[in-house]
Amino acid sequence: MSSPSAADVSDASLYNWPYSSASYRVRIALALKGLRPERIIDINLRNGEQQQPQYMAVAPQGLVPALRFAEVTLTQSLAIMEWLEEVSSEPPLLPKDPLARARVRAFALSIACDIHPINNPRVLNYLRQEFARDEPDITKWYRHWVEAGLAACERLVTEARNPTDIFCFGTVPTIADICLVPQLYNARRFQCDLSSCPTLVAIDEAASQVPAFAAAHPEQNPALTV
């Protein structure tokens, strides 16, 4: 089988949950690249559809998103975005300069690997079910890790930021911004205190004016069953 290309995305199925920040990232990346899967299949995380055998056969971890095409399934949002960057170079989601690329990746990983995993539904549900934590405790847990993580991300950006920058690391969106925007969306859902990250909030506002970010917003991609 030949290696899949960007053209294969037009025949792809994107397994998605509108309110999943990982799914949100991939929707932004696809929109920025001007790519649209043929099918978007919602996997309702609130109803546990991600653990059903038919979806586990697609994505053994039971996580969204998954992009399936040409007998290939890609999982993990960052891996999907890196693949999109490799097969569809315009517009670029990573800068050309090696140091700048490393900074973008470090920021993206700070969100995708340090903040998001300990606050996703399966972790919060485990706290509820196995440790009998009530909703105030769950919310306190969520806010603590998100607020601490975003405060660190604020420093990552401001230490490397130029006065002319609009987005995290430059004047055009990168994978860093693609990871930031969904995380801030979820932070607001949980009423997190964002006062420690004014630069990130300003970047989020700038991104909201970009059509691809607006098109990927959960409110523009409502699930059939919320």
Q: Which pLDDT score, from 0 to 100, does residue 2 have?
A: 59
Q: Which pLDDT score, from 0 to 100, does residue 115 have?
A: 94
Following DSSP, what letter does each residue of 22-83 receive, concatenated?
HHHHHHHHHHHHT---SEEEE--GGGTGGGSHHHHTT-TT--S-EEEETTEEEESHHHHHHH
Q: Which pLDDT score, from 0 to 100, does residue 161 have?
A: 86
- Residue 202 vs residues 1, 56, 209: alpha-carbon distances, Å: 45, 39, 11
User: pLDDT by residue for the chain (226 residues), tens digit each?
Assistant: 556 677 778 778 999 999 999 999 999 999 999 998 988 999 998 888 898 998 999 999 999 999 998 788 999 999 999 999 999 888 999 999 999 999 999 999 999 999 998 888 889 888 998 998 989 999 999 999 999 999 999 999 999 888 899 999 999 999 999 999 999 999 999 999 999 999 999 999 999 999 999 999 998 876 543 3
Q: Which pLDDT score, from 0 to 100, does residue 178 have?
A: 98
Q: Which pLDDT score, from 0 to 100, does residue 226 have?
A: 36
Q: How does pLDDT run across 105-144, given as a tens digit for each residue?
A: 999 999 999 999 888 888 988 899 899 898 999 999 999 9
